Amino acid sequence: MNKNKLEQLLNLSLDTGADFSEIYYEDTINRTIQLSDRQIDKIGTHLDRGVGIRIKKDDRMVYASTNDLSDENLANTINKLKESFQGEPIYKNVILKDKNIYNKEMDYHQGYTYKDKKNILKKIDSIARNHSSKVEQVEAILLEEKKDVVICNHLGEYSTDKRYLFRLIIYIYVNDHGKKESTYEAYGNNTGYNLFATFDLEKEVKRLVDIAISKLDSIDCPNGVMPVIIGPAFGAVILHESCGHPMEATAVSKNSSVLCGMLNKRVGSDQLTVIDDGTIEGAWGSTFIDDEGELTRKNVLIKNGILKSYLVDKMNEKPMHHPITGSGRRQNYLYPPTSRMNNTYIAKGTDKIEDMIKSINYGIYAKTMNGGSVDPNTGEFNFGCREAFLIENGKRTKIVKGATLMGNTIDVLKNIEMISDDLSLGTGYCGSDSGSIPVTCGEPTIKVNNILVGGNK
Partner 1 sequence: MIKKFIEEAKKENILIEVFTTKNKSIQLKTRNKKIESTDTSITQKYKIKAIYKDKVIQLYTDYIDSDTLIPLIKENYEILDVKEQTSFADQEIACKEFKENEVSLPKIEKDLLNLYALTKDHKEIDDLKIEYIYDCDEKTITNDKISIKDKSALHNFSGEAILLKDTIRKTVWFDYSLKEYDINKIKEKFKKEISTFKDKFNEESIKTDNYKIILSNTCVRKLLNSFSSIFFAEEINKHTSLLWDKFNTKIFSNKINIIEDPTNEELLGTTLFDSEGIKTYYKEIVKEGKFITKLYDKKTANKDHVFSTGNSDGVRNLYIKPGNVSFEDLLQLLNDGIVIKEVEGIHAGVNKTTGEISLMASGYFVRNGEKEKPLNRIILSTSIFELFNNVIEIGNDIEMNDTKCAGVSMLINNIKIVGNKE
Contact 445, 420 (CB under 8 A): yes
Q: How far is CA 175 from the centre of its chain?
A: 32
Count Cα neighbours of 79 within 13 Å in the Cβ-side half-sphere. Answer: 6
- CB neighbourhood size of 380 (10 A): 16
Residue span 43-62 as binding mask against partner 1, x where in contact by CB under 8 A, dash where not: xxxxxxxx--------xxxx
Assign 306 to helix, strand or coil: strand
Diameter of the chain by CA atoms?
Answer: 76
Decide: is 318 part of the binding site for partner 1 (CB under 8 A).
Answer: no
Decide: is 214 part of the binding site for partner 1 (CB under 8 A).
Answer: no
| Closer residue to partner 1 (CB): 32 or 424 | 32
| Closer residue to partner 1 (CB): 81 or 446 | 81
Assign 314 to helix, strand or coil: helix
The nearest distance, CB 175 to partner 1, in angstroms, is 7
Decide: is 437 part of the binding site for partner 1 (CB under 8 A).
Answer: no
| Closer residue to partner 1 (CB): 65 or 279 | 65
Contact 282, 191 (CB under 8 A): yes
Question: What single-letter DSSP state applies at residue 80?
Answer: H
Contact 257, 316 (CB under 8 A): no
Backbone angles phi, psi at 344, to 5 degrees: -110, 130
Q: Considering only residues 193-212, where is the footprint of partner 1 by CB under 8 A?
A: none
Decide: is 175 part of the binding site for partner 1 (CB under 8 A).
Answer: yes
Contact 329, 431 (CB under 8 A): no
Decide: is 319 part of the binding site for partner 1 (CB under 8 A).
Answer: no
| Closer residue to partner 1 (CB): 117 or 308 | 117
Among 110, 256, 271, 449, binds partner 1 (CB under 8 A): 256
The nearest distance, CB 33 to partner 1, in angstroms, is 6
Q: Considering only residues 2-21, where is the footprint of partner 1 by CB under 8 A?
A: none
Decide: is 449 part of the binding site for partner 1 (CB under 8 A).
Answer: no
Decide: is 110 part of the binding site for partner 1 (CB under 8 A).
Answer: no
Among 404, 409, 432, 445, binds partner 1 (CB under 8 A): 404
Q: Considering only residues 333-372, where is the footprint of partner 1 by CB under 8 A?
A: 334, 336, 369-372
The nearest distance, CB 348 to partner 1, in angstroms, is 26
What separation in angstroms does the CA of 278 have from each of 129, 233, 295, 309?
38, 17, 9, 15
Decide: is 92 part of the binding site for partner 1 (CB under 8 A).
Answer: no
Contact 397, 390 (CB under 8 A): yes
Which range of residues in 253-261, 266-274, 321-329, 342-350 is near partner 1 by CB under 8 A?
Answer: 253-261
Instruction: Report the residue count for the chain.
Output: 457
Question: What single-letter DSSP state applies at residue 421?
Answer: S
Decide: is 255 part of the binding site for partner 1 (CB under 8 A).
Answer: yes
Among 147, 173, 206, 394, binds partner 1 (CB under 8 A): 173
Which range of residues in 7-15, 255-263, 277-285, 438-446 is near partner 1 by CB under 8 A?
Answer: 255-263
Decide: is 373 part of the binding site for partner 1 (CB under 8 A).
Answer: yes
Which range of residues in 7-15, 196-204, 271-279, 449-457 is near partner 1 by CB under 8 A?
Answer: 449-457
Among 19, 136, 204, 422, binds partner 1 (CB under 8 A): 136
Q: Which of 316, 321, 295 minimizes the C-alpha distance to 248?
A: 316
CA–CA dist 61, 453 (Å, integer): 43
Assign 401 to helix, strand or coil: strand
The nearest distance, CB 301 to partner 1, in angstroms, is 21
CA–CA dist 456, 171 (Å, integer): 25
Among 144, 181, 248, 291, binds partner 1 (CB under 8 A): 181
- CB neighbourhood size of 329 (10 A): 28
Decide: is 132 part of the binding site for partner 1 (CB under 8 A).
Answer: no
Contact 336, 315 (CB under 8 A): no
